[in-house]
Structure 1
Amino acid sequence: MPHLTRASLAERRTQRARKELAEQLTEEITDNKRKSIARLHFNAKSQWYVGTFDADKKETRHPINDLEDIYAFADIIRATVRSLEA
């Protein structure tokens, strides 16, 4: 069994949080069609991004440093959900 360090446990928690957030940010809308309300970009360790969508479904990437930073985009994400529900 591999030795678990605090760093590896923290990394596992971060990966789990990323997955849960990605699942939460896909909202199920009518007719069982899934539509993106936001997109998380964790491709690079040095800089993460949250992508938000406008009325024309154009994505804008915003840099974030921590998962908690997505709360700054709550109003934009809520507006996207409202537009998809309409």
Structure 2
Amino acid sequence: MERPHIARGRPEPPNRSATYGCICVILRLRDGLRTGDVFVPLRRPGHHLYTPEQRAPRRSEYCRLAGKPPSAAEALEQGKEELHAALEERTAD
């Protein structure tokens, strides 16, 4: 089967890309949640959220599993370092 868009040196149309399809679904779901066309029932509002007292003892374990520091200042610094490393890697190519 001939694919004329490739023969002419053009990229494949986005509607044939699985990534593009996933993005479309996510965006439509987001829009539906915002407009109320999509509804996710909960047993009671906020039942899935921790109170600050419940969250505090879990923070260190979550941060350990996620590989992130528990302090916001440390997390920001780590994020900056990761960003700079990624930018240097990108410009080196």
What is the TM-score of this pair, normalised by structure 2? 0.28
The structure with higher relative contact order (CA 8 Å, sep 6+) is: 1
What is the TM-score of this pair, normalised by structure 1? 0.29
Task: Write 1 or 2 for the structure with the bigger share of strand.
Answer: 1
